[in-house]
Structure formats: C-alpha cells, structure tokens
Amino acid sequence: MAKTNEEPSGGLHNVLATGTVLTGTIVAESDFRLDGSVEGEINCKGKIVIGPKGYVKGNIMTENAEIFGNIDGIIRVRERLILKSSAVIKGDIFIQTLEIEPGAKLNGSCTMSGKEAIAATTGIPVYPNPANVQKK
C-alpha cells in the first residue's frame, strides 16, 4: 500500500514499497518513490524515483524523474529525466533535459523540447484531469 513519509527537510513524499503490486491510476501531488510494481498510469506533480526493483507497465507524466528500474510505456517529463545504469525503458520519452548513465537501456524514441511543447506535440497534457484519463 502506498504511504506518505515526511522527509527530514519537512517535505512529504509517497512510497510504494518493494513487493507491493498496484493496478490502476496513481495521482500524486508530491514526490513519489516506487520500489514495487504498477500496472497503470502515474501522474505526479513532483519527482518520481523508480527504484532498482521498481516496475511500471503504463505511462508516466511528471515534473522530474530518476529511473533505476524498468518501465514499459511512454514517459513525459516537463523538466529532467535521469536514467541510471540499471534503467530499462521500453517506450518513447518526451522530455526537456535528459541524462543517461552508461549501461542504461532505452528502446524507443526520444523527443526533447520545452515544457509546454511536450504537451502540445503529444496532444496529451502533462497533468490531465484524472477523470479524463482513458483506460487502455
């Protein structure tokens, strides 16, 4: 189950722990760390960290992201995406800034543009209304 932890700096973030499996749409107003598995969409207005054992089958929309684990879906990041050496991405990415460590795997296309252009070029807003998210 997702829980919210208070960081030493006083900020809040959400955590989905290792061994947890969630099917559905996640909407987070603050930072989110995923060490479990998600089958569905993730829409985060903060930073998403996908841990080394984290897995997402679905699309991700966020402000910033740091990926150690596996993603099978489209990633839209308004600011900065960091792919760590253990990251495996199967899908297209739409980003403003990209950092890739040696060893990371990206099997898809990469479109780099400004924040607003990410939404405009894909036809899908970065932060859609959760009620309007279409199921596959």
- What tens digit of pLDDT does each residue of 41-72 get? 999 989 999 999 999 999 999 999 999 999 99
In the chain, where are the structural domains located?
13-122
Q: Encoding tokens for residue 93?
A: 């990415």
The percentage of the chain sitting over the pLDDT mark of 90, rounded to a whole number, equals 60
Residue 59, CA distances (Å) to 4, 5, 8, 75 in order: 22, 24, 30, 6
